[in-house]
Structure 1
Amino acid sequence: MARVAAMQPGWNLGNTFDAIPDETSWGNPPTTQAMLHYVRSQGYNSIRIPITWSNHHGAAPDYTLDAAWLSRVRQVVDWSLAEGFYVMINLHHDSWQWINGYPGDRTTVMNRYNALWRQLAGTFRDYSQKLVFESINEPQFTGTSGDSESDQVLNELNTAFVRLVRASGGGNATRLLVLPTLYTSSEQARLDALTGTFNQLRDPNLAATVHFYGWWPFSANIAGGTRYDSNVESDLVGGFDRVYNTFVSRGIPVIIGEWALLAYDYTRPGIIERGEFLKYIEAVGYNARIRKLTTMLWDAGSFLERNALRWRDQGIYEMMKASWTVRSGTASSDQVYLPRSGTITARSLTLNLNGTSFQGLRQGSTNLVNGTDYTVSGTTLTLTAAALTRLAGNRAYGVNATIEARFSQGAPWQISIITSDPPTQAAATGTTSSFSIPTQFRGDQLATMEAKYADGSPAGPANWTSYKEFWASFQPDYTANTIILKPEFFAEVNDGRVTLTFHFWSGTKITYYITKSGTTVTGSTT
């Protein structure tokens, strides 16, 4: 428990040594000592180095590890330990590349699995106890009758891993070993199955691991899951409660080996609204901390800009950092929308104090004046018409000013003052493989899209909901002033007329109509 607690917080060197076939194949630069030093300087105490070995070993029966690949892995492990990190290494995408076939070919897969871990255990046998082994990433299996049988299969692999590593002696006799649940899921049945493995092994130096990417509709922005709401909260609390009650309460530590949101990706901006993501970050940090869970951020390049050694969004990092020790206040939104013309009126937001007290508003280094620029009644923060008129400046479309709500502790809450008018759209023609709706966004931002047939039933993929998946079915292009409807969307749309409803963050809703006939698509506002 103490060792895992000392690993908090952790960071994943994602899409690097787990990339296929090698370190830079998925777009990240080679790992440097300077980058590891920077991550350590930012308060991270552990680093998970996911590693895919599939393409870096020889043939049966020895499965000899490629010397150059192993040497490079050792170099980064050595650098990380020299920085003072706890370091976790594993078999990563091997899980779905060949380990998943274990039920149908137990001998071949087990021999390969044991051969890799035997070589790794030997290589790192006398390394510092700050080096940690994780058996398999996100285990999954083909050819079983269902999850219960897959649980049993995973038990065989986890048990073989622990016994092999322990038998290798040296530092491995007491090294911390990390065992995942099936799919690294926090469902109770998966936790119970792993509990059986722990009971069987009776080893005091084991930890459990699960992954956490949040409530799926919010994590992917589908089914209208645009906000950090009670569904997201209850999913988070429920999952963390289950791992606490199943393991931590019994003295078995838990590592959330990966966490983020599935659709949070700097190359696909706008899927997850920034303020809603900040609320999620704050809640993950707090709920993990009070349950003594160690969290390891999944960073495949969306958080740390590895070449420049800076956070892509400093405010997101600040919220994470604060959550390691305290709560932060938030609000119902981080956006206040104002019209381009006409009279500006007062606007209110609800403060989520999270045990803090509200201290005031600031723009840059200037404090706003309570009673003149804003008022607070309970948890209702109201920005006055006069202050908003001043902050809006010349009322150009987009963000005109940013202010900060400050609390007694934690990270400040940024509020963007935005000028917008209802977006406008125009008629269009195209094909199912290339169709865009001309859209003048006029300062507004797209939140989600609904698609319905004439009878009101959902159209397109995921036909159990009218709200389609952001980016997978549709994508705004603010530079080109279009909304793109993807071929994947049309692949599951019947011929005929479909009503689209575009929901914007200002609260504006716009209706648009498309008609599909074979591969031809037309669109209109009426």
Structure 2
Amino acid sequence: MIEQGRTRRFWRRVGVLVAAVATLAAGLGPLATDDAAALGSGATNGAAAADSGCSVAYTVGGEWPGGFTASVTVTNLGAPVDGWQLKWAWASGQQSTQAWNATITTTDGRATAKDVGYNSKVATNGTVSFGFNGTWTGSNPKPSEFELNGVVCGGGGGTGSDAMAAVAAMQPGWNLGNTLDSTGSDETSWGNPRITETLLDNVKAQGFKSIRIPVTWSAHVGPAPNHTIEAAYLNRVKEVVGWAMARGLYVMINLHHDSWQWIRDMPADRTGVLSRYNAIWTQLAEAFKSFGPKLTFESVNEPQFTGSSGQAQDVQLLHELNTSFRDIVRQSGGNNATRLLVLPTLHTSSDQALLDALATSIAGYNDKNLIATVHFYGYWPFSVNVAGGTHFDAVAQKDLTDSFDRVYNTFVARGIPVILGEYGLLGFDRHTGTIQQGEKLKFFEFLGHYARAKKITTMLWDNGQHLGRTSFQWSDPELFAQIKSSWTTRSGTASTDQVFNARSSAITAKTITLNLNGTSFVGLRHGTTELVRGTDYTVQGDQLTLTASALTRLSGARDYGTNAVLSARFSAGVPWRINIITYDAPVLSNATGTTSSFAIPTAFRGDLLATMEAKYDDGTNAGPHNWTSYKEFDRAFAPNYVSGVTTLTPEFFAEVRDGGRVTLTFHYWSGTKLTYYITKSGTTVTGTTA
């Protein structure tokens, strides 16, 4: 079902699984120069480079509730240094409170230890040691990676080989979608502005630790046999990668829409596709091999093949691509020898057979620096609001838990880290209103929780519809608040965020079910006013009842629409919004129009449209997706509450029989159902009320 729903237009929501970016490297701090130079030379802040590497022994000498003491010994395996800085990242927010033989500062979870003058010189194979007292909360894991003067260290207390720790440090991640991955000649081809350093500053400020930068190379690669990448475009990608890394972000780049533009032709043109693929990755490996370990590569986005003999051949072709990719990168030397590499399943699907196929490939490589990736856009009927999938119900939730359980059991439980390179809802392709707000929030709350439980790093797909690229404001702040909260805790929700009171009837008490999600109910507010328990509402177990007197007061003059917004607060997470709505049954009117422009005049009267059914008089289903009577929200029909119309789209009429009457049943969130009839004759459409 998910794959069926993913026949969406590629330019709307491109992307592939974001690979787990490089090891838990220390923050790069004030690096302001191009990362290829800064990380390649190992020079930071004027300290001499440790050109050939280093090793670090990090030992926790003692630990007590909230505190610990540690000692660090650095061995210089390269040329002599005169002046050193050792950097690392704290995975759980630890802090140094007192140090000896070094000066230690911590910023945004990244620590920097500097020499204190008398120990600034370290000969080749020489060592320098320092120690400190620190604080911790929750847990106190050792750093998984260190950098001496910008060069990643091996050996000792933590190395770049701990891919699992590195992927954990990448949580949470964000996709810079529909930009460098556009299939046009420029990163602005799909309507997003050029990437700026200010954008990356704002991405980091939102709390993201990693950024996936999808890149489509097709329009910027020359002909065979060399397939030379356009220098200006490659330099632009390097510039953006450098900007992100200079801000301490983990970064992933890939071959993105190339997957469906030309890589998919591999069954018929194996030699040509493989030659082009290998040429591109050979050039990319060389161009980025001196970039630090926070850069990772993903072999290909959402791999797919056309004209093969079936799934078995598809799996084999993907294995061939992944193998060639890994070999090219590893053999290019530099930091690529140990760089974390991300490998997708076929279609980045979590189907068990495809997970098993990738697991077999990874086992055969005997490479501890590999990461698996899949994508998740939810149970398809819910994800696009079709086939009656209006709620994040038990079926939609089980689809998520089954998917994440398969991924965990196949990879994470066996020590292979996983990145959910893209996640979201397919209905977001047009706007975030396709799925009802409360149901949408429950999906993201649960996804964040379950991903944490299964140790899966998540990367939000954003093609510009979430974080404004120039305003730096979230188009749906409530949604982002829920997503951000899910990174660390659970939030209470409820069976609904809408309480409807019919204007034509007396107001009565209303009860909704609380989803406590491990929290406890704290209270209910209207604005800054605390409602009174026992008078305005009661709570018995998970049942929250709003009294008739409180609803009457809150509804005021009972104008149609939302009269009041309540905030249910819990012991953790973000509050749950409850809208108090006055409505009467909507009124539909007769209409005429054409198959390209038809709208039903609708007096919504405070109610909100949930879904629409379409059937012929003989009981068979009408319109697109004729396996279900429930049509796809915003694709077949769409309400316009401002204009007071319900539109039926040309896509809907394209699959309606000529001359046959269609009965439409509109389902509203209040529970109201209305019947309407339409008849199509050529391009003319007539609509009448029941």
Could you tell me the TM-score, scaled by structure 2's length? 0.75
Aligned counterpart, 2:111: none
Shift of 1:270: 3.1
For residues 257-293 of structure 1, what are the alpha-carbon distances to aligned partners after superposition, in whole Å with 9 as ceiling and x for unaligned?
000000025x535311111010000111011001100
CA distance in 1, matches of 2:568, 2:171: 28
After TM superposition, list the pairs within 5 Å mapping 1:181-200 onto structure 2: 181-200=345-364
Which segment is superposed worse, 136-145 or 23-32? 23-32
Amino acid of the structure 2 residue aligned with 1:79:
W
Aligned counterpart, 1:111: 275
Indicate yes or no: 2:251 matched with 1:87: yes
CA distance in 2, matches of 1:69, 1:339: 59
Secondary structure of 1:55's counterpart equals helix
Indicate yes or no: 2:562 matched with 1:363: no
Indicate yes or no: 2:397 matched with 1:233: yes
For residues 306-356 of structure 1, what are the alpha-carbon distances to aligned partners after superposition, in whole Å with 9 as ceiling and x for unaligned?
211111121111111111111111000011112234421111110000111
Amino acid of the structure 2 residue aligned with 1:326:
T
After TM superposition, list the pairs within 5 Å mapping 1:37-436 onto structure 2: 37-265=201-429, 267-268=430-431, 270-436=433-599
Secondary structure of 1:47's counterpart equals strand
Q: Percent identity?
A: 64
Out of 489, 492, 500, the position equivalent to 2:655 is 492
For residues 168-224 of structure 1, what are the alpha-carbon distances to aligned partners after superposition, in whole Å with 9 as ceiling and x for unaligned?
001000000000000000000100111121122111000000000000000011000
Which segment is superposed worse, 374-383 or 308-317? 308-317
Aligned counterpart, 1:465: 628
Amino acid of the structure 2 residue aligned with 1:214:
G
Secondary structure of 1:103's counterpart equals coil
CA distance in 1, matches of 2:439, 2:604: 21
Aligned counterpart, 1:510: 674
Amino acid of the structure 1 residue aligned with 2:214:
P
CA distance in 2, matches of 1:42, 1:99: 35
Amino acid of the structure 1 residue aligned with 2:188:
T
Secondary structure of 1:26's counterpart equals coil
Could you tell me the TM-score, scaled by structure 1's length? 0.98
Shift of 1:394: 2.1
CA distance in 1, matches of 2:483, 2:433: 20
- For the 8 Å contact 2:562–2:582, the answer to whether it is kept is yes
Out of 156, 168, 175, the position equivalent to 1:12 is 175
CA distance in 2, matches of 1:260, 1:270: 13
Secondary structure of 2:272's counterpart equals helix
Amino acid of the structure 2 residue aligned with 1:459:
A
Amino acid of the structure 2 residue aligned with 1:407:
F
For residues 407-449 of structure 1, what are the alpha-carbon distances to aligned partners after superposition, in whole Å with 9 as ceiling and x for unaligned?
0001111111112111100111122222111111111111110
CA distance in 2, matches of 1:64, 1:480: 53
Structure with the bigger percentage of helix: 1
Secondary structure of 1:278's counterpart equals helix
Which segment is superposed worse, 237-246 or 53-62? 53-62
Shift of 1:367: 1.1
Which segment is superposed worse, 12-21 or 182-191? 12-21
Unaligned runs of 5+ in 2: 1-163
Secondary structure of 1:14's counterpart equals coil
Shift of 1:517: 2.2
CA distance in 2, matches of 1:138, 1:324: 25
Shift of 1:30: 1.3
For residues 449-477 of structure 1, what are the alpha-carbon distances to aligned partners after superposition, in whole Å with 9 as ceiling and x for unaligned?
00011122211111110000111111112
Larger Rg over CA atoms: 2
Unaligned runs of 5+ in 1: none
Secondary structure of 2:359's counterpart equals helix
Aligned counterpart, 2:609: 446
CA distance in 1, matches of 2:510, 2:534: 14
Secondary structure of 2:602's counterpart equals strand
CA distance in 2, matches of 1:142, 1:27: 29
CA distance in 2, matches of 1:268, 1:437: 22
Secondary structure of 1:264's counterpart equals helix
Count of aligned residue pairs for this structure pair: 525
Secondary structure of 1:227's counterpart equals coil
Aligned counterpart, 1:525: 689
Secondary structure of 1:44's counterpart equals coil
CA distance in 1, matches of 2:536, 2:468: 37
